[in-house]
């Protein structure tokens, strides 16, 4: 038997003032994107912003549906939109923040499992890791250097026919 340890490095900051200028700016865009959220069912807004390799910043948000399983997460709607808007241009960083109408969220809400899968696919497609910056309504900010750190043993296209 061989034991394999998987390690994830999470950088935690007390406030946005400690972030690099670029990360702080992207987080402000994610906060701005909260207004784009269509979330009448969960009343949980997720705002996201990406910084593209060409310097562009795009914003996106969650997009819900009365048929609940059709709700689209902010990360997924934004990464698809970014790929369509700037085909072939890599995503360098992704900032995500949240606002709940029903309670105070005092910690960052990390991307759900499906979003982690989509983030990893985007990293592989673009051959570029994505820096992830997360903030709750209050509490610390966390930064993860690459999306693949959030999804050990990921399934990917290498398992599928060439």
58 dihedral zone (left: phi>0; alpha: psi -120 to 50; beta): beta
In terms of Cβ atoms closer than 10 Å to its own Cβ (0-12, 13-18, 19+), residue 76 is buried
Give 13 or 38: the residue with its C-beta nearer to ligand THU. 38
Closer Cβ to ligand THU, 19 or 47, answer by number? 47
Smallest distance, ligand THU to C-beta of residue 97, A = 11
Distance CA 118, CA 83 (A): 12
Among 64, 92, 108, 150, which residue interacts with ligand THU (rule: CB under 6 A)? 64
Instruction: Considering only residues 42 through 61, tell me which ones interact with ligand THU, judged by CB under 6 A.
Output: 42, 44, 46
- How far is it, in rounded angstroms, from Cα 41 to Cα 38? 9
CA 111/CA 27 separation, integer angstroms: 15
23: DSSP letter: H
**Using rule CB under 6 A, residue 86 touches ligand THU:** no
Q: Are 120 and 147 in contact (CB under 8 A)?
A: yes
Interface with ligand THU (CB under 6 A), residue total 13
The yes-or-no answer on residue 92 being catalytic is: no
Does 35 participate in binding ligand THU (rule CB under 6 A)? no
By the rule CB under 6 A, 100 interacts with ligand THU: no
What does the binding site for ligand THU look like in residue numbers (CB under 6 A)? 39, 42, 44, 46, 62, 64, 71, 73-75, 111-112, 115
Q: Catalytic residue positions?
A: 75
């Amino acid at each position: 038997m061989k034991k394999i340890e998987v390690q994830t490095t999470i950088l935690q900051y007390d406030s946005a003032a400690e972030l690099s200028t670029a990360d702080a700016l992207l987080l402000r865009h994610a906060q701005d994107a909260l207004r784009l959220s269509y979330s009448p069912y969960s009343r949980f807004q997720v705002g996201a912003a990406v910084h593209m390799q060409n310097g562009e910043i795009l914003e996106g948000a969650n997009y819900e549906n009365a048929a609940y399983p059709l709700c689209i997460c902010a990360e997924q709607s934004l990464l698809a939109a970014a790929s369509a808007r700037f085909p072939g241009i890599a995503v360098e960083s992704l900032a995500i923040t949240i606002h709940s109408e029903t309670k105070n969220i005092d910690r960052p809400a990390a991307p759900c499992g499906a979003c982690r899968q989509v983030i990893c696919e985007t990293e592989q497609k673009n051959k570029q890791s994505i820096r992830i910056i997360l903030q709750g309504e209050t509490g610390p900010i966390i930064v993860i250097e690459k999306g693949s750190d959030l999804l050990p043993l990921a399934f990917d296209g290498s398992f599928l026919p060439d």
